[in-house]
Amino acid sequence: MTLLVTGGAGFIGANFVLDWLAESSETVINLDKLTYAGNLETLASLQDNPHHVFVQGDIGDADLVAQLLQTYQPRAVINFAAESHVDRSIHGPGEFIETNIVGTFRLLESVRGFWSALPAAEKTGFRFLHVSTDEVYGSLSQDEPAFAETHRYEPNSPYSASKAASDHLVRAWHHTYGLPVLTTNCSNNYGPFHFPEKLIPLMIVNALAGKHLPVYGDGMQIRDWLYVKDHCSAIRRVLQAGQLGETYNVGGWNEKPNLEIVHTVCKLLDELRPKADGSSYATQITTVTDRPGHDRRYAIDARKLEQELGWKPAETFDSGIRKTVEWYLANPDWVSHVQSGAYRDWVQQQYAPPASAATAVNAV
Ligand code: NAD
Ligand code: TYD
């Protein structure tokens, strides 16, 4: 049995692959383009694991994807691959359209071609799980109820619009062609291996470097935070028991304003790595110009996943954020290689350069 995971060198995909292979001997084919967000150093512990096969390539490369599907005959495809940073989508939306919409379309077509030719038993068991975001639902006012799966789609950023479009494609491939799909829409993740341009890791690394902690606008925008390993356990559960064609919201019931998050990170650092002069890291907080079109509030109603599939997060926000800060303190090399760009050379340092983009770097 084999899984094809896309985007498995990114933050959530890599955590998923690491968690999967810690508990299972089912092989994971990991297809990742290695954009700036893809980091093979995150997967270094799998170097000698024969159940991990890394392939550098694009989800939109139909020939490559068809070849991988034919060669490895996966029982499921889990699609994490995406451009994922809202600020980058504001500065350059093109890549978001290319990967999140066109790439998902091409991947769906490749998978449909493979799936439709499968024998009946394999066809029935096959799954395409699409990993999406709560940002497709738009922004909530202070007193509106949290997003349920029935909430209208109202994306506001190029990122969320591109993810919304991909969700619609996945839905349509189920309704029109019968492709056995599942979709998850998760809230903001945090945890180990998070690229330090997103809020929580950025605040940790900037604080330690004595830099400003830039809070957009009034800092009272609310996000619903989930520890990444709880997102991974939700995906495993949906893959195992989700109803075909259904979408599942994933969240931790942890709504917090950004400023509170930043103060929590500062307090933990004050405790775990106190500054020599005795001052708090909170003195480094600065307010900066707000993000254009900044969504005010996200909140996830995760009752469908909890009640129908029995999923529950293992971490509270307090336990998860402490583990996260401790992880960044314990892994300065991973952080410094990301900051210096050295992580991009990691595969070349460890292995002979691949002959082509389609070359499998076995067991990276
Ligand atoms: P990430 O940016 O850290 O990782 C994305 C990965 O996809 C990278 O390894 C990158 O190299 C790869 N990739 C990009 N374009 C590709 C392409 N065309 N072909 C193959 N690989 C490609 O993102 P993440 O935070 O790990 O998010 C993973 C998924 O989860 C995304 O679909 C995102 O929309 C969704 N999501 C993220 C969050 C969050 O808080 N980070 C929350 C909910 C949902
Ligand atoms: P981010 O981690 O970019 O995730 P998203 O925009 O997908 O929710 O940002 C989380 C929140 O933190 C968001 O409201 C924007 C805010 N933010 C800051 O205030 N300062 C920062 O430097 C960053 C990166 C984000």
**Which residue among the candidates 41, 83, 109, 159 is catalytic per the annotation?**
159
Q: According to the model, what pLDDT value does residue 109 have?
A: 98
Looking from the CA of residue 15, the nearest atom of ligand 1 is: 26
Instruction: Answer yes or no: is the C-beta of 4 below 6 A from any ligand 2 atom.
Output: no
Distance 22 CA to ligand 2 centre (A): 31
- Judged on CB neighbours under 10 Å (0-12, 13-18, 19+), 291 is middle
Q: What is the mean pLDDT of residues 271-287?
A: 98
Asked about 351 being catalytic, the answer comes back as no
Percent of the chain with pLDDT over 90: 93
Q: Above 50 in pLDDT, residue 114? A: yes
Confidence class for position 349, pLDDT limits 50, 70, 90: low
Please work out, in degrees rounded to the nearest 5, the angle formed at the alpha carbon of residue 306 by the alpha carbons of 300 and 309.
130
Q: What is the mean pLDDT of residues 225-235?
A: 98
Instruction: Answer yes or no: is the C-beta of 199 below 6 A from any ligand 2 atom.
Output: yes
The C-alpha atoms of residue 354 and residue 337 are separated, in whole angstroms, by: 21
User: CA dist 81 to 4, 24, 102, 142, 336, Å?
Assistant: 12, 22, 12, 32, 24
The C-alpha atoms of residue 59 and residue 13 are separated, in whole angstroms, by: 14
DSSP category for residue 97: I
Q: What is the mean pLDDT of residues 175-198?
A: 97
Token pair in block for residue 360: 């499998």
Distance 171 CA to ligand 2 centre (A): 28
DSSP category for residue 355: S
**Which residue among the candidates 134, 167, 224, 301 is catalytic per the annotation?**
134
Least confident segment among 22-36, 318-332, 346-360: 346-360
The C-alpha atoms of residue 63 and residue 94 are separated, in whole angstroms, by: 23
Q: According to the model, what pLDDT value does residue 328 have?
A: 98
**Which residue, by CA, sits nearest to atom 23 of ligand 2?**
199
Percent of the chain with pLDDT over 70: 95
First to last CA, the chain: 19
The neighbour count for residue 229, using CB atoms within 10 Å, is: 21
Q: What is the pLDDT of residues 7-23, one digit of tens each?
A: 999 999 999 999 999 99
Structural contact between residues 166 and 132, judged by C-beta atoms closer than 8 angstroms: yes
The C-alpha atoms of residue 236 and residue 119 are separated, in whole angstroms, by: 25
Q: Above 90 in pLDDT, residue 302? A: yes
Q: Sign of dihedral through CA atoms 183, 187, 193, 194? A: positive
3-state secondary structure of 114: helix
pTM: 0.96
The neighbour count for residue 12, using CB atoms within 10 Å, is: 23
Mean pLDDT value across the chain: 95
Q: According to the model, what pLDDT value does residue 342 have?
A: 85
Instruction: Answer yes or no: is the C-beta of 188 below 6 A from any ligand 2 atom.
Output: yes
Q: According to the model, what pLDDT value does residue 345 have?
A: 78
DSSP 221-247: -EEEEEEHHHHHHHHHHHHHHPPTT-E
Confidence class for position 350, pLDDT limits 50, 70, 90: low
Q: What is the mean pLDDT of residues 123-135?
A: 98
Structural contact between residues 55 and 67, judged by C-beta atoms closer than 8 angstroms: no
Distance 197 CA to ligand 1 centre (A): 14
b vs e for 182-199, b when ≥16 Cβ sit within 10 Å of the residue's Cβ? bbbbbbbbbbbbbbbebb
List of E strands, the chain: 2-6, 27-32, 52-56, 76-79, 127-133, 181-186, 188-190, 213-216, 222-227, 247-250, 255-257, 285-288, 360-362
The C-alpha atoms of residue 163 and residue 185 are separated, in whole angstroms, by: 10
Between 354 and 177, residue with greater pLDDT: 177
The C-alpha atoms of residue 49 and residue 56 are separated, in whole angstroms, by: 17
Instruction: Answer yes or no: is the C-beta of 110 below 6 A from any ligand 1 atom.
Output: no
Asked about 134 being catalytic, the answer comes back as yes
The C-alpha atoms of residue 314 and residue 321 are separated, in whole angstroms, by: 13
Distance 133 CA to ligand 2 centre (A): 14
Q: According to the model, what pLDDT value does residue 359 have?
A: 40
Q: Above 50 in pLDDT, residue 116? A: yes
Instruction: Answer yes or no: is the C-beta of 226 below 6 A from any ligand 2 atom.
Output: no
Could you tell me the domains of the chain? 2-190+228-253+293-318+327-346 (3.40.50.720)
Q: Above 60 in pLDDT, residue 260? A: yes
Confidence class for position 353, pLDDT limits 50, 70, 90: very low
| Ligand nearest to C-alpha 214 | 2
Instruction: Answer yes or no: is the C-beta of 37 below 6 A from any ligand 2 atom.
Output: no
Q: What is the pLDDT of residues 60-109, one digit of tens each?
A: 999 999 999 999 999 999 999 999 999 999 999 999 999 999 999 999 99
The C-alpha atoms of residue 36 and residue 69 are separated, in whole angstroms, by: 26
Token pair in block for residue 219: 């800092």
Between 346 and 224, residue with greater pLDDT: 224
Instruction: Answer yes or no: is the C-beta of 215 below 6 A from any ligand 2 atom.
Output: yes
Nearest-Å Rg of the Cα atoms of the chain is 20
Q: According to the model, what pLDDT value does residue 341 have?
A: 86
Q: What is the mean pLDDT of residues 128-139?
A: 98
Looking from the CA of residue 216, the nearest atom of ligand 2 is: 19
Distance 6 CA to ligand 1 centre (A): 9
Q: What is the pLDDT of residues 42-70, one digit of tens each?
A: 999 999 999 999 999 999 999 999 999 99
